[in-house]
Amino acid sequence: MGVADDAVRLTQTFAATVVAALAALLAAVRQRLRLGPVPQAKSATRFADTEQRAIEDEAAVRRGVPAKVDGRVLEADMVHLDAGVASRKVFIFFPGNPGLVDFYLTMLREIFRRNKGSVHVVAIGHAGHSAWTPGDHQPIGYQAQIQHKVQVLRQEISWFEDADAQVMIAGHSVGARVGLEVMHALPAVKWVRYIGICPTVMYIGQSPNGTKLSPLLANSWLRTLAYLVLHPVSALVMLLPFGVKHAVVKSIMRKDCPGVDDHFVGHGLKLVHPTVVQNVLHMANDEMQEILDVTHFQDTILNPHMSKMTFVLSPIDRWCHHEIVERMRKAFVGAHFHVLPDSVTHAFCLSHENINLVVDAVQTALGRDDGASPSSS
């Protein structure tokens, strides 16, 4: 997560999650046995704003939107900030992996606000990536996620394929590659903008993080073990007092974003579900194997839409590393490249400060003249 950030990071922090949850539970039990109730000082004030925002976030998300892919019904969460029937402009967003749309609500609302509510803002999560949409026990892979996005778009905002529609598409991390795949699958749509944020659009398996994690993700035994172990672990985590759960999850999320805000920590708990983790890891393994070059996009995307494309980069991103960025500059010769301050991590969506910087870049890209020369800032 994206965001939260990238799905693959769950492999890296899985052991830490198990140990931390067990340790926290043990500490809580010992505290109750020896000293009575676990102190809840400051919890009412410290978490009041977080809990209120969680309620507001929950109201903004449609849970379990179904779509049929290859005869199988897949469900995903969805956000639609409605600009009204008069507007024929839509900003479509796909998340990273884990594909939980909740992490991006702050960003999506800010984009909607800055465009004065004149643009529909739509986000489609990955099927099976939230506790509301785990699906069956059959893993959901990368290609199925792409087909799922196409089906949901046609089902939920069918007018986006009309000739008078103006469609802007964006994605974070693997969502940026999913955006390219959707454009490739729907060449007749009037695509007016493409924005890839911390984009893993090429050779993700050759990035520093990809090189380290690819062997682990390719091991089906380890993925199965993670699935089996998470059954008791998720039950244990739910028994923890809110303050303890919050502290455990925040300590893990800090590995992706040292400045993670409390507002986003609650969303991390939504990923502690065995089938969700199975889908996250399965898709991540597919990404390592399948996200390579972009030559098959030449006729459908690169030639007709290059000048409309912007890549928003973090200079400290170990998924979209500088060596891969150089390959991107050669593949997307006419595209625009916007480099963020080096304080922004790949999991930008865990920090309000980082979100504002990313939204600034998105707004610049949305307002750019189609005839503008390629830029790098």
CB atoms near residue 322 (< 10 Å): 10
What number of other Cβ atoms are within 10 A of residue 180's Cβ?
26
Residue 5: predicted pLDDT = 42
Sheet with 191-197, side-by-side order of all strands: 62-69, 72-81, 120-124, 89-94, 166-172, 191-197, 309-313, 336-339
Burial class (CB in 10 A: 0-12, 13-18, 19+), 115: buried
Would you list the domain boundaries of the chain?
Answer: 64-237+270-366
pLDDT of residue 226: 72
Please tell me the pTM assigned to this model. Answer: 0.83
CA dist., res. 127 & res. 140, Å (int): 7
Among candidate residues 46, 179, 43, 57, the one with its CA nearest the CA of residue 107: 57
Three-state secondary structure readout of 333-348: CCCEEEECCCCCCCCH
Q: Which amino acid is at 311?
A: F
CATH assignment, 64-237+270-366: 3.40.50.1820
Distance CA 342, CA 338 (A): 12
Provide the terminal-to-terminal Cα distance of the chain, rounded to the nearest Å: 24
How far apart CA 345 and CA 342 sit, in angstroms, is: 8
DSSP string, 225-290: HHHHHHHHHHHHHHHS-HHHHHHHHHHHHTTT-TT--HHHHHHHHTT--HHHHHHHHHHHHHHHHH
pLDDT along the chain (377 residues), means of 10: 42 44 44 39 48 64 93 94 90 96 94 94 95 80 96 95 96 98 96 98 96 87 75 71 73 70 70 81 94 94 95 96 96 96 92 94 88 59
Residue 63 burial (CB < 10 Å; 0-12/13-18/19+)? middle
What does the pLDDT read at residue 207? 96
Q: Are 13 and 253 in contact (CB under 8 A)?
A: no
Q: What is the pLDDT of residue 134?
A: 72
Residue 29: the pLDDT is 38
Q: Residue 249's pLDDT is what?
A: 73
Predicted confidence at residue 75, as pLDDT, reads 94
